[in-house]
């Protein structure tokens, strides 16, 4: 145990010497990576806050919540950034989060009035395919076609869970039949988004479950217009990513300042080309070029956090039944 | 052997074993203790158990079954590139899972080389997804490991035995009955257990190649319990089940694995006079070419995919590579500090439990160990500050089962042959360790260290839970690149990882090799 004490001592020492306040934000891993929004956000916020912003990555959204639950009231985090509406109900249940005081002109396709969580970006789930191939116009057409798809497992992946709720929101009690129809189109189910997207790029499948914004990455970062997202007539399920302040935050004022900063131009203009999602508040300069070419679903689907929590287990059971045949 | 005086004390080894057991069971206990009212086993968990057992048994039998002729061929033949091939045998199972999956699919997938070739010939493409795909992938990962373990068994037959066999004009059947059969009876059960245990905790490979949720393993159920249900009790229960299954398999293997060794030789270079018939040569050639193609084609796919991205890798990736080397070095040192005394304790003959605790590292779910450590460390220290030592320690414990399989047979032999002589010379304790035990364990130590370094380099393990933003390892960086759509850079980084792992493995393994075989 000696080295534990040693490490703890070192840490205590470094904290004692720090003269600027430190704001700790827990987020998912891809947010803090060199290619995510983290580095730019940190720079921009530290310019205005006179503080040290410490971004800590912890797996993905679900792992993030698990982490906060494990740490409980003693958590070092002041803000948790990166939950979505499938997790917010469980997050509120912990009683660890405090209400926010942020108001903004949200550009979300749905109305937002959550007292605890502030959205910072959002996107639509969609099947991405090669632009030169025709795409089915809805789930039924997809099921009837011989298109092969790769999807993610809802038990281990956020997009996987999104697809589960998409089908449920669009078809309700009819969802099991839709999954039965799709079962021969599903090449395989992967643990996470990266495996599935990698397999699609290698040509293992005609389509992959991703976001409507995925083609924007290829267009803007690689100048490659060969990918497109298929517009589905049922509408597209949304993912809204949010942040919240912890009730036991060491730096409650800084946390409030960060949440307000989060919906400002400085933060929001970083999001589109680093997180490849739509900003929650459209920046004054508008969206980057290339986002205009994306499909704009006519209908947005989103179960409320309570509905999502209610149907989740049953929907998973139906999914398992249909795909385990 | 029990009760006989030995020149080394079993005490350090037993202490090391207790430490390992405490880590694995302690973390499991921490998770269980932290659990709220859980739901216990669900019907789906039993289905997961059935599938897990089926695929793990099939994978183990096939990997070891195929490894026997391959190892035999490699033991009998000398050809240019042999040592390179043996070194490359280490490659598949040190790869990060996601990289290995993409490499395998580039060869066996719907759009893979094999399917394209078949379509070109006017045939149906291969259908890789299903139980057979899972087994194929697991054989890809574990055939090389099993081959190395069994090949080592062959190499430990002293040169004098082959000479004697040749003088007595022993035919293939007699060779089998007198030398190869007994050797395999000692080595194969251990190899089976290790492969079985590895496949038991498979998750991403099983799911992806299995083609969907019918390929749900216990490890996936643990994952679900953690993040879908946040049911720590169920996670601990499932992880306990994995430990029990592996423990049972290990006990069976210990029972079955029996027989005296072949005695000491004079460490001459092994020369073989048997297996010179055209048929034997042809068969050996067949096995070597087949296994080489099976293992090297997916590796070639990974290399080809990685070359374009390798040049453009940015500084942070190199930094992550540096971190990985650091973790691997530390973890190799820890591993040897645990494994060498444990092997001596097992060889000294009174330690089924030490041997058992050596295998548990494989069965423990990284997610449970990581979470358990987190629960234990969080109240006393900052988990991020401990990212490096914790990752190195857990990686060492995960590599321990392999090291034990490599070290124990040799340690038995060393103690069996030199124990009495050393005692009569009053050479005991440290003197024995330094003058007899360590020098005679050199080859095995090098192999075990190489494996540990390579495994640790490629393992994501628990680092994801303890990830300090400033301390990313290379595998984590590969996942981040993929998560940010940078598939080409990720492939480049994967190639870098492959080269680093292979390099570490080659240096350590080579450094320890004294079976002077060109």
Q: Provide ipTM, 2 decimals.
A: 0.85
Would residue B425 count as lying in a domain? yes
Contacts of B127 in chain A (CB under 8 A): none
Which chain A residue is nearest to residue B204, measuring alpha carbons? A191
Tell me which DSSP letter residue B180 carries. I
User: What is the pLDDT, as a whole number, of residue A115?
Assistant: 94
Exposure string for A147-178, b = 16+ CB within 10 A, e = fewer:
bbbbbbbbbbbbbbbbbbbbbbbbbeeebbeb
Chain A to chain B, count of Cβ pairs less than 8 Å apart?
168
B378 touches A at CB < 8 Å: yes
CB-based contact B374 A156, cutoff 8 Å: no
- Residue A119 CB partners (closer than 8 Å, separation 6+): A106, A108, A112, A240, A241, A242, A280
User: What is the pLDDT, as a whole number, of residue B463?
Assistant: 57
Would residue B36 count as lying in a domain? no
Query: How far is A76 from B15, CA to CA, in rounded Å?
Result: 36
CB-based contact B212 A188, cutoff 8 Å: yes
Would residue B32 count as lying in a domain? no
Report yes or no: A284 and A67 within 8 Å, Cβ to Cβ. Answer: no
CB-based contact B484 A30, cutoff 8 Å: yes
Hey, which CATH number is domain A123-237+298-323, 3.30.360.10, 3.30.70.790, 3.40.190.10, 2.60.40.1510? Answer: 3.40.190.10
| B 282-301: CB under 8 A from A | none
Query: Which contacts qualify for B438-441: CB closer than 8 Å, 24 or more apart?
Result: B438/B340, B440/B410, B440/B414, B441/B340, B441/B343, B441/B407, B441/B410, B441/B411, B441/B414
- Residue A172 CB partners (closer than 8 Å, separation 6+): none
For residue A11, give the nearest of B44, B111, B385 by CB distance: B385
Domain span at B74: 11-20+51-261+278-302+309-512
CB-based contact B485 A148, cutoff 8 Å: no
DSSP per-residue codes, A119-155: EEEEEEEEEEEETTS---SSHHHHHHS---EEEE-TT
Residues paired with A246 in a beta bridge? A97
Which chain B residue is nearest to residue A58, measuring alpha carbons? B465
User: What is the pLDDT, as a whole number, of residue B332?
Assistant: 94
B41 to chain A nearest CA, in Å? Answer: 15
Tell me which DSSP letter residue B468 carries. B
Exposure string for A215-226, b = 16+ CB within 10 A, e = fewer:
bbbbbbeeeeee
Contacts of A38 in chain B (CB under 8 A): 469
Report yes or no: B207 and B51 within 8 Å, Cβ to Cβ. Answer: no
Would residue B249 count as lying in a domain? yes
Q: Which helix H or strand E contains A209, and what residues bound it?
A: strand A207-211
Contacts of A316 in chain B (CB under 8 A): 228
User: What is the pLDDT, as a whole number, of residue A151?
Assistant: 96
Token pair, residue A304, equals 């409320």
Candidates B134, B212, B374, B477: best to mutate against A (most CBs of A within 10 A) is B212
User: What is the pLDDT, as a whole number, of residue B460?
Assistant: 62
The total of structural domains in chain B comes to: 1
Token pair, residue A166, equals 């998409």
Tens-of-pLDDT digits for all 518 residues of chain B? Answer: 444 677 777 788 888 888 888 888 888 888 888 877 666 677 778 888 999 999 999 999 999 999 999 999 998 888 888 888 887 877 787 777 878 888 999 999 888 899 889 988 888 888 889 999 999 999 999 999 899 889 888 887 887 888 888 888 877 788 888 888 888 888 888 889 889 988 988 888 888 898 888 888 998 888 888 878 888 888 888 888 888 888 888 888 777 776 556 666 666 667 776 767 888 889 999 999 999 999 889 999 999 999 998 888 888 899 889 989 998 999 999 999 999 999 888 888 766 778 788 788 877 887 888 888 888 888 888 777 787 888 888 889 888 888 888 888 888 888 888 888 888 888 888 888 888 888 888 888 998 998 889 888 877 666 566 666 667 888 888 888 888 888 889 999 999 998 898 888 888 887 766 554 43
B227 touches A at CB < 8 Å: yes
For residue B480, give the nearest of A4, A33, A67 by CB distance: A33
Q: Which residues of chain A have pLDDT under 50?
A: 1-17
Would residue B462 count as lying in a domain? yes
pTM over 0.90: no
User: What is the pLDDT, as a whole number, of residue A34?
Assistant: 86
Helix axis angle, B232-256 to B366-377, nearest 10°: 120
Nearest C-alpha neighbor of A159 from the set A88, A117, A211:
A211
A105 to chain B nearest CA, in Å? Answer: 28
Query: How far is B347 from B157, CA to CA, in rounded Å?
Result: 18
B304 touches A at CB < 8 Å: no
User: What is the pLDDT, as a whole number, of residue A12?
Assistant: 44
CB-based contact A7 B207, cutoff 8 Å: no
Q: What is the 3-state secondary structure (H, E, C) of A4-65?
A: HHHHHHHHHHHHHHCCCCEEEEEECHHHHCCCCCHHHHHHHHHHHHCCEEEEEECCCHHHHH
User: What is the pLDDT, as a whole number, of residue B40?
Assistant: 66
Report yes or no: B343 and B415 within 8 Å, Cβ to Cβ. Answer: no
Contacts of B385 in chain A (CB under 8 A): 7-8, 10-11
Q: How many residues does chain A have?
A: 325
CB-based contact B467 A57, cutoff 8 Å: yes
B382 touches A at CB < 8 Å: yes
Contacts of B381 in chain A (CB under 8 A): 4-5, 7-8, 11
Query: How far is A194 from A59, CA to CA, in rounded Å?
Result: 13
- Each domain of chain A, given as residue ranges in start order, spans 18-121+240-292, 123-237+298-323
Query: How far is A53 from A44, CA to CA, in rounded Å?
Result: 10
User: What is the pLDDT, as a whole number, of residue A13?
Assistant: 44
B467 touches A at CB < 8 Å: yes
DSSP per-residue codes, B223-254: HHHHHTS--HHHHHHHHHHHHHHHHHHHHHHH
Class of domain A18-121+240-292: alpha beta
Cα→Cα distances B193→A284, B63, B83, Å: 63, 11, 26
User: What is the pLDDT, as a whole number, of residue B335?
Assistant: 93
A60 to chain B nearest CA, in Å? Answer: 10
User: What is the pLDDT, as a whole number, of residue B1?
Assistant: 41
Tell me which DSSP letter residue B2 carries. T
For residue B386, give the nearest of A7, A32, A183 by CB distance: A7
Query: How far is B302 from B300, CA to CA, in rounded Å?
Result: 5
Exposure string for B236-274, b = 16+ CB within 10 A, e = fewer:
bbbbbbbbebbbebbeebbeebeeebbeebeeeebebeb
User: What is the pLDDT, as a whole number, of residue A8?
Assistant: 44
Taking phi first (over 0 means left), then psi (-120 to 50 degrees means alpha), and beta for anything else, what does residue A82 get?
A: left
Query: How far is A288 from A325, CA to CA, in rounded Å?
Result: 45
| B 130-189: CB under 8 A from A | none
Q: Do the first three CATH levels of A18-121+240-292 and A123-237+298-323 match, i.e. the same topology?
A: yes
Query: How far is B219 from B481, CA to CA, in rounded Å?
Result: 25
Which chain B residue is nearest to residue A156, measuring alpha carbons? B224
B377 touches A at CB < 8 Å: yes
User: What is the pLDDT, as a whole number, of residue B380?
Assistant: 82
Contacts of B379 in chain A (CB under 8 A): 74
Which chain B residue is nearest to residue A59, measuring alpha carbons? B464
Tell me which DSSP letter residue A173 carries. G
Would residue B329 count as lying in a domain? yes
| B 389-428: CB under 8 A from A | 389
CATH number at residue B411: 1.10.3720.10
Helix (H, G, I), strand (E, B) or coil at A160: helix
């Amino acid at each position: 145990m000696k080295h534990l004490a040693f490490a703890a001592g070192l840490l205590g020492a470094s904290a004692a010497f720090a003269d600027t306040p430190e704001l700790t934000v827990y987020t998912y891993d891809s947010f803090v990576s060199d290619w995510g929004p983290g580095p730019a956000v940190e720079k921009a916020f530290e310019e205005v806050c006179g503080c040290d912003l410490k971004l800590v990555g912890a797996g993905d959204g679900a792992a993030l919540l698990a982490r906060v639950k494990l740490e409980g009231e003693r958590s070092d985090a002041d803000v948790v950034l990166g939950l979505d509406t499938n997790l917010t109900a469980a997050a509120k249940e912990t009683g660890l989060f405090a209400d926010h005081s942020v108001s903004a002109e949200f550009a979300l396709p749905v109305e937002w009035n959550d007292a605890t969580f502030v959205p910072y970006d959002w996107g639509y789930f969609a099947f991405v395919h090669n632009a030169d191939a025709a795409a089915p116009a809805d789930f039924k057409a997809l099921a009837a076609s011989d298109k092969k798809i790769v999807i993610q497992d809802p038990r281990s992946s956020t997009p996987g869970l999104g697809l589960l709720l998409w089908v449920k929101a669009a078809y309700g009690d009819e969802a099991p039949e839709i999954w039965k129809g799709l079962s021969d189109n599903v090449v395989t189910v992967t643990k996470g988004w990266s495996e599935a997207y990698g397999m699609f790029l290698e040509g293992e499948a005609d389509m992959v479950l991703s976001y409507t914004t995925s083609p924007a990455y290829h267009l803007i970062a690689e100048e490659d217009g060969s990918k497109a997202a298929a517009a589905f007539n049922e509408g597209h399920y949304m993912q809204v990513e949010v942040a919240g302040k912890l009730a036991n935050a060491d730096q409650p004022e800084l946390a409030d300042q960060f949440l307000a900063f989060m919906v400002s131009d400085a933060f929001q203009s970083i999001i589109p080309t680093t997180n490849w999602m739509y900003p929650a508040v459209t920046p004054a300069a508008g969206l980057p070029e290339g986002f205009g070419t994306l499909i704009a679903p006519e209908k947005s689907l989103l179960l409320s956090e309570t509905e999502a929590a209610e149907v989740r287990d049953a929907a998973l059971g139906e999914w398992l039944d249909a795909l385990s045949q | 052997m029990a009760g006989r005086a030995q020149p080394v004390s079993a005490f350090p080894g037993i202490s090391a074993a207790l430490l390992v057991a405490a880590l694995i069971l302690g973390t499991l206990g921490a998770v269980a203790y932290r659990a709220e009212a859980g739901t216990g086993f669900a019907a789906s968990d039993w289905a997961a158990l059935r599938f897990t057992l089926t695929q793990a048994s099939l994978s183990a039998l096939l990997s070891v079954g195929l490894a026997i002729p391959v190892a035999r061929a490699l033991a009998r033949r000398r050809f240019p590139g042999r040592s390179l091939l043996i070194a490359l045998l280490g490659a598949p199972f040190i790869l990060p899972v996601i990289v290995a999956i993409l490499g395998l699919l580039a060869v066996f997938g719907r759009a893979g080389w094999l399917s394209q070739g078949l379509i070109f010939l006017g045939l149906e493409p291969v259908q890789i997804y299903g139980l057979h795909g899972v087994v194929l992938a697991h054989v890809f990962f574990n055939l090389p490991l099993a081959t190395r373990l069994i090949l080592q068994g062959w190499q430990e037959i002293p040169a004098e035995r082959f000479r004697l066999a040749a003088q007595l004009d022993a035919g293939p059947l007699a060779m089998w009955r007198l030398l190869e059969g007994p050797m395999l009876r000692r080595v194969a059960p251990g190899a089976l257990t290790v492969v079985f245990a590895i496949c038991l905790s498979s998750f991403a490979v099983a799911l992806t190649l299995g083609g969907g949720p019918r390929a749900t393993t216990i490890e996936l159920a643990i994952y679900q319990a953690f993040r879908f249900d946040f049911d720590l009790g169920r996670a601990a229960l499932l992880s306990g089940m994995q430990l029990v299954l592996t423990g049972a398999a290990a006990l069976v293997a210990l029972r079955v694995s029996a027989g005296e060794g072949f005695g000491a030789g004079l460490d001459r270079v092994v020369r073989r006079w048997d297996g010179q018939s055209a048929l034997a040569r042809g068969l050996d050639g067949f096995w070597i070419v087949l296994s080489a193609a099976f293992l090297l084609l997916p590796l070639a796919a990974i290399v080809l995919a990685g070359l374009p991205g390798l040049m453009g890798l940015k500084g942070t990736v190199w930094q992550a590579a540096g971190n990985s080397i650091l973790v691997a070095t530390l973890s190799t040192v820890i591993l040897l500090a645990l494994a060498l005394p444990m092997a001596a304790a097992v060889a000294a003959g009174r330690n089924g439990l030490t041997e058992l605790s050596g295998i548990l590292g494989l069965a423990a779910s990284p997610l449970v160990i990581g979470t358990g450590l987190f629960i234990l460390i969080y109240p006393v220290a900052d988990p991020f500050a401990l990212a490096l030592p914790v990752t190195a320690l857990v990686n060492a414990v995960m590599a321990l089962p392999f090291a034990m399989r490599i070290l124990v047979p040799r340690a038995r032999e060393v103690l069996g042959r030199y124990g009495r002589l050393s005692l009569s010379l009053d050479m005991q304790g440290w003197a024995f360790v330094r003058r007899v035990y360590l020098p005679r364990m050199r080859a095995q130590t090098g192999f075990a260290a190489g494996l540990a370094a390579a495994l640790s380099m490629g393992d994501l393990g628990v680092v994801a839970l303890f990830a300090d933003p400033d301390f990313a390892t290379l595998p984590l960086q590969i996942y981040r690149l993929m998560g940010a759509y940078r598939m080409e850079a990720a492939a480049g980084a994967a190639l870098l990882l492959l080269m680093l792992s292979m390099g570490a493995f080659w240096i350590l393994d080579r450094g320890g090799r004294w079976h002077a075989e060109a």
